[in-house]
A and B are shown apart, each in its own frame.
Chain A
Amino acid sequence: MSVFDGLKFRRVYSPIHNLDPRIKFVYVCAIFAVAIVYWKLLPLAILFLIQVPFVILARVEREWIRSMRGAALLATIIFLTNFIFSFINAGYIVTASNLEYAIAMTLRFIVLIESFSVFFLTTSPDHLGLALEQTRVPFEFCFAFTTAVRFVPVLAEEAQTIMDAQKARGLELERGNFLKRIRNYIPILIPLIVSAIRRSLELAETMESRAWGATKNRTNLYTLKLHKGDLVLIAVTGLVLLTAIYVRVFLTIPSLNDLLGGFFYTARFLI
C-alpha cells in the first residue's frame, strides 16, 4: 500500500511544486548529462549537493530520504561490482584511484536517483499530464497516463475488498508452500482483471458520450505558462551546463587522491 500512497493525490504548495514540469524535466536531463560526463569524485559530489536545496525548498525531505534509502541496496551493489573489478584489473591491490573510481560510479547512480526522485516528488500527476499534453504528446497517451493514475487508489481499494471477500470464503493466503501460495492468488487476480475490463467498457461508453473524437484540435481548460520561477530554473540549468562543459574541457579536476595526498603531504610537512 505504501507504493500507492506515493501516487495518491497530496497537495503541497512550494515554489518547486509550482514550477513548470517541462522545465524541471529539462533540468533533470541536464543533471543526467553532466553526471555522465564526469567520472571524478569531486564534481559528482558537487552535483549531489546542488540538489539538496531543492529538496529542502520543496519540503519533501522525508519522502526523499525514503527513496534514497530504497536506492541504498542497489548503490552498494554498484560500489562492490566496480570496486571488485578494478581491484582485479589492478592486479589485486587496493589503490586510492580504484577506490575513488568505485565511489564516483556509485555517486553517479545516486545523483541520478536523487534528481529523478525530486522530479517525481514535486510534480503532481495532473501537472505532469498537462505538461505531456502541451508538449504535443498525442492526446491518447496523456489521457491513458492520467486516467491510470486516477484509478490507482480505486484499484488498490478493490484489491483489498476482493481479498476480504475471498478470505471470507475460507481462502488462506498465508498458508502453504510457494507454489500453493501463487495459486491462491488466482481468486484475487481474476476478479480484479475482470473488473478492470468491465470498468474500461464503462469508461469507453462515457468517453464516447462526451463527444470523444469530435475534433482533432482538442482544447484544454488549463494552460501551462512560464513565470519567474521557471526562468530562474532555466538560468540555473544553463549555468550548470556551461560550467560543467567549461570545467571538463579546460580544467583538470584534482582527484581525491591528489587532494588527500596534498593533505597528507601538508600534514607530514607540518609534523
Chain B
Amino acid sequence: MIEVKDVYFTYPNGVEALKGTSLTIKNGEFLALMGENGAGKTTLVKHFNGLLKPTRGNVLVDGVNTTKVSVAALARKVGFVFQNPDNQLFSETVEEEIAFALKNFGFKEKTIRKRVTWALNLLDLTQYRKTSPFMLSGGERKRVALASVLAWNPKILILDEPTIGQDYQQKEKLRQFILQMKAQRKTIIIVTHDVEFVAECKPRVLLMRQGKITADGEALEVLTNPEILTYTSIVPPQITQIFLQLSDLNLSEEVIDVYEAQKKLLNILEKRAK
C-alpha cells in the first residue's frame, strides 16, 4: 500500500512541482495518472521508489516512510520502468541486462538464472537471450527494459509513458500484459497521456494539474466529465466526444468504449423502432 500524505515538492531550481497532494493506493489496484506535461505526474511517482523525497509531507510504502530507507531498498518493492529504455540499457547481452538488478539485490546465482529465463519467456525475448540489446528494434528494447524490471518480481509496477511510439498492435499486447500482471495481484500505476489507451484499460484514473490532483475516480466517470477534462487539458476519448456532441438528444454520455457505444445505440434504435 502506498500512502501520500499532503506532499509538497520543490525542485532545486525553485519550481514547486507538487502542491499538497494526498492519495492512497491499495495493494492490487490498477491506476492511471494523467495530465499535461509539467502537471507533476512523474514527480509524484518518483516519490514512490524514493528517487525524490518530499519537501513537506510524507510518503509511506507499506507503512515505511520513504525518507527512512534507501532507493535500492524501496526498489525491491517498487519496480519503475522509465519512458526511454535507452536510458538503462548498457549490457553486452539481453541476459546480462535482465540479471543486472538481480545481482544488485543480492539474489543467488541459481535464482538469477531461473528468473532471467522466466522474464525472457514472459516477454517473448528468449530468442534474443545472447543478443546485444543495442541490436534490437525500439519495441524490442522496450520489452527488454520491462523484463529487466519484472525479473525481481516487484509488488508494485510503475510504467512511465509506456505507449509512446507504439503502434496499435503493440499497445494491445501491452494492455493484455497489464491484465496479466493485474491477475498476479500486482499494483500497477501507469503515467500516460494516451486517453484512448486508458479508455480501453479502464483503470482508476487520477488527473493532475499544476501539482495538484484534480480528479480521482473510475475511468468511466472521469473520462466522460467534460469540465474536469478541459480543466486538466485532456481531450476526451473519441467515442465520448461523439456522445458529448449528441448530449441534446438525451443520450447518456457515460461511454468510453466502442462496444458499449454499439450496445447503447442498438438499444436506443430498437426502442424507438417500437
Give chain A's interface residues, CB within 8 Å of chain B: 1, 158, 161-162, 164-172, 186-187, 190-191, 194-195, 198
Q: Which chain A positions have C-beta within 8 A of B82? A: 161, 164-165, 168
B120 within 8 A of A: no
Q: A169 near B148 (CB under 8 angstroms)?
A: yes
Q: A164 near B86 (CB under 8 angstroms)?
A: no
* A16 CB to nearest B CB, Å: 26
Q: Which chain A positions have C-beta within 8 A of B152? A: 170
Q: B75 near A168 (CB under 8 angstroms)?
A: yes
Q: Which chain A positions have C-beta within 8 A of B75? A: 167-170
Q: A170 near B72 (CB under 8 angstroms)?
A: yes
Q: Which chain B positions have C-beta within 8 A of A171? A: 72, 104
Q: A186 near B88 (CB under 8 angstroms)?
A: no
Number of A-B residue pairs at CB separation under 8 A: 63
Q: How large is the interface on B (under 10, 10 to 19, 20 to 34, 35 or more residues)?
A: 20 to 34
A171 to B148: give the CA distance in the assembly, Å: 13
Q: B51 near A195 (CB under 8 angstroms)?
A: no
In the complex, the chain A residue whose C-beta lies closest to that of B73 is: A170
B70 within 8 A of A: yes
Give chain B's interface residues, CB within 8 Å of chain A: 12, 46, 49, 51, 70-72, 75-76, 78-80, 82, 84, 86-90, 100-101, 104-105, 134, 148-149, 152
Q: B90 near A172 (CB under 8 angstroms)?
A: no
Q: Beyond the given A169-B100, A170-B75, please list 13 additional residue pairs across the A-B interface where CB-CB is below 8 A.
A: A1-B12, A166-B88, A167-B72, A167-B75, A168-B80, A169-B75, A169-B101, A170-B104, A191-B88, A191-B90, A194-B86, A194-B89, A198-B86
A71 to B80: give the CA distance in the assembly, Å: 43
* A181 CB to nearest B CB, Å: 14
In the complex, the chain A residue whose C-beta lies closest to that of B84 is: A161
In the complex, the chain A residue whose C-beta lies closest to that of B70 is: A172
Interface CB pairs A-B, < 8 A, 26: A158-B87, A161-B84, A164-B46, A164-B51, A166-B88, A167-B51, A167-B71, A168-B78, A168-B80, A169-B88, A169-B101, A170-B72, A170-B152, A171-B104, A172-B70, A172-B104, A186-B90, A187-B88, A191-B86, A191-B89, A191-B90, A194-B89, A194-B90, A194-B134, A195-B86, A195-B87
